[in-house]
Amino acid sequence: MSGRRHLYLTGATALVLALTGGLTAPATAQAAAAQAAVAQAAVAQAAVADPARATLGAGDGWGSAGTGTSGGAAAVASRVFTVTTWEEFRAALAAPGTEPRIVKVKGTLNATAAGCSAFEAPGYDFPRYLADYDPAVWGHDTVVSGPQEELRAASVQAQGRAIKAYIPANTTVVGIGRNAGIVGGSVQIQGVDNVVIRNLTVESPLDCFPQWDPTDGATGAWNSEYDSMVVYGSTHVWIDHNTFTDGAHPDSSLPRYYGEVYQQHDGELDVVRGADLVTASWNVFADHDKTLMIGNSDSAGATDRGRLRVTLHHNLFRNVIERAPRVRFGQVDAYNNHFVVPATGYAYSLGIGQESQLVAEKNAFTVPAGVHVGTILKKWKDAPVTTVGNLVNGRPVDLLAVHNAEFPGEVLRDGAGWTPTLRARVDNPRAVPGLVGHRAGAGGLR
């Protein structure tokens, strides 16, 4: 057969043949080495076409600094898992070893399919809880305590054990196709390095057992647990082409007790407790209240100072009330994002907090009539901020100047004190609404 081997070939191997002209037996050792090099390059090219094998490009935000972020791109076949249930997902993540792994999510994984009753501690009774802690009985001066509060807390712990999924180091989690996602789960990237999360629709988990705090504000408030995704003390993380949403349970659908919304949502994405070198790109954050927090405490300087370096680019923040993001301590680069501000309930987009150094450049804001442009920025603590080249409804606006004019009692300082250099692609802000609207979010990767 003229020295050729006839094989059945698929995928990357077929590409090798296409690029090398077949597996002709080499005449010399030098030719063999050359052919092997071409084959290796071809396999690498094929891997790049697979979203599960993608790595964060050089210079693409803080996540690309140092060793960069590759997740599980180099995983061998035995370390590639395809999962269709929440239980399979957690089992794939728990497989021992720190070698690269890829977890492919097919369809929607439901972490709370059994319902809230599956987590209830024996003896917990919500009507009894409401009766015991009714402000007319309990008042507003002290936090709740007693048997029903203890049982509620035990129920919270049971739900947390069931719905949290911990992502190991050197891991890529990727949704397959247009309809991959997670409902009711909380993705935890905690104390690890080198993680990639792509192409998932993540519906905010519902806290089955919110806590009533009568001392929260003038009238008290319900407070909940469980963020959709948390980056906690981890480094080199790339969060790309995901959609974060409240899905079937928007805040408008939640009941009221004691005259207050029974709040069952927490954040969509938190980057906290010494986390560092994170790039969040081409995501959609939609229809949520407390959306994205970078740094969760003014007193966390020991872990957060000099860290919390995060890049946010080409993300869509659509109808979110606040925290897009709220920043403490970190050097945060937010550019080429599109903020579609809701007509009602809006608080702010960019929160300037303790020792933050936010650069907000070449973003596009779509602001409805009746919403003051000065509210785009919110001063929580005295910290410098850079706002350059941003558009509001298609027109250039100096966000800092407008804020300071509208809120003379909350003047912000100009100049974050650093200049971002890790930007692989910067678009004209006029093009951002179209680009982000068309390309951001889950479902666009094949």
- Residue 401 to residue 384: CA distance in whole angstroms: 13
Residues 182, 163: Cα–Cα separation, whole Å: 10
Question: Please, are residues 440 and 244 in contact by the beta-carbon 8 Å criterion?
Answer: no
Q: Rounded to 10 degrees, what is the CA torsion of 299, 302, 305, 308?
A: -90
Neighbours of 168 (CB within 10 A): 22
Identify the residue whose tokens are 């004190």.
417
CA 235 from centre of chain? 14
CB under 8 Å to 14, separation ≥6 — which residues?
none
Q: Which amino acid is at 180?
A: A
What are the structure tokens assigned to 195, written together?
Answer: 């993680």
Q: Where are the alpha helices (DSSP H) in 272-369?
A: 301-304
Please state, in angstroms and rounded to a whole number, the distance separating the CA atoms of residues 73 and 394. 39
Give the count of alpha carbons within 13 A of 407, CB side only.
Answer: 16
Q: Is the dihedral of CA 282, 325, 367, 284 positive or negative?
A: positive
User: Is there a catalytic annotation at residue 323?
Assistant: yes
What's the rounded Cα separation, in Å, for the pair 137 and 155?
Answer: 24
DSSP state of 253: G
DSSP 88: H
Contact between residue 101 and residue 174 where contact means Cβ atoms under 8 Å apart: no
- Candidate list 53, 101, 323, 326, residue with the active-site label: 323
Tokens of 293: 């927090």
First to last CA, the chain: 38
Q: Which residues are catalytic?
A: 323
